[in-house]
Structure 1
Amino acid sequence: MTTDRPEPARPTQWNPLTRLAFRFCFLYFGLFCLLTPPVVFELTGPLGRQLGYDAQFWHIRKLQPILNWVGRELFGTDVQLHSTGVGDQAIFWVLLFCILVVAVAGTVVWSVLDRHRAHYRTLAGWYLLAIRILLAGQLLSFGFAKAIPTQMPEPSLTTLLTKYGDFTPMAVLWSQVGVSRPYEMLLGAAEITAAILLLIPRTALLGALLALIDTLQIVVLNMTFDVPEKISSTHLLLMSLLLLAPEARRLLRVLLLNRATGRSTAPYPFYTRRSRRIAAVLQVALGIWIAVAAVAGGWHAWRSGGPDRPKPALYGIWSVSQYTRDGQPVPPLTTDETRWKKVVFDYPDAITVERMDDTLVTVPADVDAASHRIRLIEGTPKYRPMTRSEHIRNPIGTLSFQQSAPDKAVLTGELDGHQVILTLDRIDPDSFPQRSAPFRWVQNRPNF
């Protein structure tokens, strides 16, 4: 049995438009993958976790002066990198513009200097292999963030109190997916499956088709719910199409014309049986390397932010039944901007206060279970609620708490310069329909 597999028959020359398109795509998507976090960074796997999250942005900081100059001179705005994890920051749009300009200019120069070349099959083989691996890495990262359901977590206690009209479109999407943990896990499973298929050469075409479906859904959601990851998701969709482009005629014959088709003639850099096997093993090994980091990151996020995370003392939603300020009872008037209506203890480093006008204010706090003390701190909490309250001044003070029963508690101390006593009654979170509505096979009317 021979160990060599001849390269598939192919045309000796690409048409000019194909060569031009390849040059542009090679430069544009190559620069995009190299310069846009975290496309290449995902390949670092567990090593990347050791380097830290900020390591993927080091080159952006180096390019900051250039990008800031372009933003100021061409778009009339200064751009800077914000440590929010958001992919649609102004600095990334300026970077994308620079990549486009360089790719167009590079394509023109390349086309002039290399106008006599008949084709780029060898280079295209390596290029498509790299695109396939990078796309698989992104899908593994996204997939495990959902398969271990931490990307869209279960709606928090504060979210249960938030009016629907106060949600942003993105908050609606996050809550909608987070309500159904199995649904989120299935979304992740679809992305992981596409990544696995992409990393196995024999199933790469099927993986590209599934990746196209996955990324198309992501793009639609990001566009329609205003999720700030439009740049990355759109380019992942385009990368899926790029992988399918060499197979377009075969797919057309099979899927639309219902005709038989021959073997794939898509460029691939390995021709012998031995080299193909080694390449396949290395691709799968790289996928495992990336998956290990994704699983480790997801598990850490689940342990620290999932339902079994460490919870603060007084965890739950509490109604303020009595409020005394400087020895005088404060009636529950909706016009009172200082009286508390409810208070939520959900995370160890923050509490959320619902005021009498139903406004929710999340305040940084140090809840010490040992000393039964709550210290409200100025600043921005690490936990970011889905609704914004920057225009509201945070209450400041130190309170002591006593819990006489599981559903009864009293807060005493100083709040905004006044001595206060708050009597709290616990509200069962499972009393909210979002958590208590059962699954039913038989329903005679919609369960709105």
Structure 2
Amino acid sequence: MSVISAKSVEQDSVERVDTEWNVLTRIAFRFSFAYFGLLCLGLGLPRVYAGIFLDKLPAWASNGPLYPLSPALEWVGREVFDADVALHLSSGSGDQAIIWVFVFCVLVVAVLATVLWSVLDRHRPNYQRLHAWFLVFIRLCLAGMMIVYGTEKLIPLQMPGPSLTALLTPYGNFPLASVLWLQVGSSPVYEMLLGSAEVVGGLLLFLPRTATLGAMLSLVSMAQVFVLNMTFDVPVKILAGHLVLLSLVVLAPQARRLANVLVLQRSTDPARQPELFGSLRLRWIAVGVQVALGLWAVIGIVPDALKAWNEDGGGAPKPALYGIWSVSEFSQDGQPVAPLTTDQNRWQRVVFDVSGMAYQKMDGSLVRVVGAVDSAAHTITMSQAAGGSGAQPSQIGTFSFAQSAPDRLRLNGQLNGHPVTLSLEQLDLNSFPLRSTGFKWVQDYPHFS
């Protein structure tokens, strides 16, 4: 009986230690609950589960929670930071000034909420049940974003292969972010492996038993993404940095056990968390709901990614005249134009790519244009891209074309009001080492240039 009593006392002591949080732990939880909860909602992380219904939502919902908050955030930007900020929905940047203002507001609200909460609820010994629900929410937000991030790499959309115009652009003219995009996009297998790690991490997060492993994989993946964003100036630093923090929040309750196993090489007890539901049946239903959410997120994301791949990505059909064409002869107003680098009117090359059309001047500069090729009528209409929103492209040239051979092209028409004739020869795209250098097991000398 004494042995049994001693064990009971020891168990009661352990449980009491687990249930009595110290003051700093309670304050840290209150702040984390307010900050990360508001941040996830404000950045719209749960919107991942809207899936196929995103396009059917009203503007304030489909554009994210920041959309209705914009007037308030603009006011804070003016009054606090003396800066005019605005939400640019078509920008694609996650580091806009208005988003930094939003993070500042969330931080201020979280600090105030923590102070008020700590005063009004200072006698509560712990928040075990609320903490368990909070971890479920954070885990599902992180899981959804990992699947979004990973799918765009697993189906290589985020970093596409180098465009034809990129092949003609000097390396020194690329900004840092483009260097990273082209580096990853040049190796689709590498990009797909990065994406698979992120997708697997996200999927593991949907199961409570594998959530720790999923959070560890997500932490490593997003830490790499965050470092790349910081060092290559990719404008997704806010989101990537917070996904790293969310991974740490999910891992925090297991920190001691992970340290015992991975660092101190000690044995550790199984994790003990408060049950959110009393019966085994309800617990299994909760697990099923989380798995269903994961499947729903995949169903909502993967078909759209595949559609984008087939319509605008690497699976899209190549346009007529696809390739890089070198201008061997150029005549204007009936007179041949010599290929001088100082000539501002003569063309050096013409590019027909999936992403559009461009021509290269004699000084090497590339001009992107809106080109429409009618293969049946053998005509090309070329317009200058519009400068502002709502502006219509202005037509600058119309041509008829004929091909005497698959790699020979002749254009006749009008360019900027002048009659022109061009003779073109198609370049072999494999003449670019970036496209022709393949994998080799044996290399006596490295192939760097």
TM over 0.5: yes
Secondary structure at the counterpart of residue 275 of structure 1 = helix
Structure 2 residue 65 is matched with structure 1 residue 75: no
Deviations 1:252-299 (A, max 9, x none): 111111111112134552454322211111111100100112211210
1-side partners of 2:284 and 2:185: how far apart? 41
2-side partners of 1:188 and 1:58: how far apart? 24
Does the C-alpha gap of structure 1 residues 267 and 218 become closer, same or farther in structure 2, counting only changes over 3 Å? farther
Q: Which residue in 2 is equivalent to 1:89? A: 96
Structure 2 residue 412 is matched with structure 1 residue 412: yes
Match of 1:203 among 184, 191, 210: 210
CA contact (8 A) 2:222 2:240 kept: yes
CA contact (8 A) 2:316 2:354 kept: no
Following TM superposition, by how much is the alpha carbon of 1:118 offset from its aligned partner in structure 2, in angstroms? Answer: 0.8
Structure 2 residue 434 is matched with structure 1 residue 434: yes
User: What residue identity is the alignment partner of 1:59?
Assistant: P
User: What residue identity is the alignment partner of 1:200?
Assistant: L
Q: Which has the higher contact order (CA 8 A, sep 6+)?
A: 1
2-side partners of 1:25 and 1:64: how far apart? 24
The runs of 4+ residues in structure 1 deviating greater than 4 Å are 49-55
- Residues 259-298 of structure 1: pairs in structure 2 closer than 5 A: 259-267=266-274, 269-270=276-277, 272-298=279-305
Following TM superposition, by how much is the alpha carbon of 1:84 offset from its aligned partner in structure 2, in angstroms? Answer: 2.0
2-side partners of 1:276 and 1:299: how far apart? 35
User: What residue identity is the alignment partner of 1:13?
Assistant: E
Structure 1 residue runs of 5 or longer lacking an equivalent are 1-6, 383-392
Structure 2 residue 397 is matched with structure 1 residue 421: no
Q: Percent identity?
A: 52
Structure 2 residue 388 is matched with structure 1 residue 379: no
Following TM superposition, by how much is the alpha carbon of 1:157 offset from its aligned partner in structure 2, in angstroms? Answer: 1.1
Does the C-alpha gap of structure 1 residues 372 and 203 become closer, same or farther in structure 2, counting only changes over 3 Å? same
Q: Which residue in 2 is equivalent to 1:367? A: 373
CA contact (8 A) 1:364 1:380 kept: no
2-side partners of 1:302 and 1:240: how far apart? 29
Does the C-alpha gap of structure 1 residues 394 and 158 become closer, same or farther in structure 2, counting only changes over 3 Å? farther
User: What residue identity is the alignment partner of 1:20?
Assistant: I
Q: Which residue in 2 is equivalent to 1:390? A: none
Structure 2 residue runs of 5 or longer lacking an equivalent are 1-11
Secondary structure at the counterpart of residue 262 of structure 1 = coil
Q: Which residue in 1 is equivalent to 2:116? A: 109
Deviations 1:72-126 (A, max 9, x none): 1222221112112221111111111111111111111111111111111111100
Match of 2:313 among 306, 309, 312: 306
Deviations 1:277-332 (A, max 9, x none): 11111111100100112211210111012333133221111001111111111111
Following TM superposition, by how much is the alpha carbon of 1:46 offset from its aligned partner in structure 2, in angstroms? Answer: 2.0
2-side partners of 1:141 and 1:381: how far apart? 32
Match of 1:358 among 360, 364, 373: 364
Root mean square deviation, CA, Å: 2.2
CA contact (8 A) 2:94 2:237 kept: yes
Does the C-alpha gap of structure 1 residues 354 and 394 become closer, same or farther in structure 2, counting only changes over 3 Å? farther
2-side partners of 1:262 and 1:407: how far apart? 70
Q: Which residue in 2 is equivalent to 1:62? A: 68
Deviations 1:402-448 (A, max 9, x none): 22211011112111121111111001212211111121100011111
2-side partners of 1:404 and 1:377: how far apart? 26
Q: Which residue in 1 is equivalent to 2:54? A: 48
Q: Which residue in 2 is equivalent to 1:389? A: none
2-side partners of 1:369 and 1:406: how far apart? 14
User: What residue identity is the alignment partner of 1:273?
Assistant: L
Does the C-alpha gap of structure 1 residues 409 and 267 become closer, same or farther in structure 2, counting only changes over 3 Å? farther
Following TM superposition, by how much is the alpha carbon of 1:218 offset from its aligned partner in structure 2, in angstroms? Answer: 0.7
Deviations 1:348-374 (A, max 9, x none): 7x3111111111111122222232222
2-side partners of 1:375 and 1:267: how far apart? 68
Following TM superposition, by how much is the alpha carbon of 1:222 offset from its aligned partner in structure 2, in angstroms? Answer: 0.7
Secondary structure at the counterpart of residue 375 of structure 1 = strand
Match of 1:240 among 219, 242, 247: 247
User: What residue identity is the alignment partner of 2:109?
Assistant: V
- TM-score, scaled relative to structure 2: 0.91
Does the C-alpha gap of structure 1 residues 416 and 267 become closer, same or farther in structure 2, counting only changes over 3 Å? farther
User: What residue identity is the alignment partner of 1:141?
Assistant: V
2-side partners of 1:268 and 1:372: how far apart? 70
1-side partners of 2:98 and 2:274: how far apart? 35
- Residues 59-208 of structure 1: pairs in structure 2 closer than 5 A: 59-82=65-88, 83-208=90-215
Number of equivalent positions: 431
Following TM superposition, by how much is the alpha carbon of 1:201 offset from its aligned partner in structure 2, in angstroms? Answer: 1.0
Does the C-alpha gap of structure 1 residues 26 and 267 become closer, same or farther in structure 2, counting only changes over 3 Å? farther
Q: Which residue in 1 is equivalent to 2:6? A: none
CA contact (8 A) 2:55 2:62 kept: no
Match of 1:344 among 330, 351, 355: 351
More deviation, 425-434/44-53: 44-53
- TM-score, scaled relative to structure 1: 0.91
2-side partners of 1:81 and 1:373: how far apart? 41
Match of 1:257 among 260, 264, 286: 264
Q: Which residue in 2 is equivalent to 1:217? A: 224
1-side partners of 2:82 and 2:415: how far apart? 45
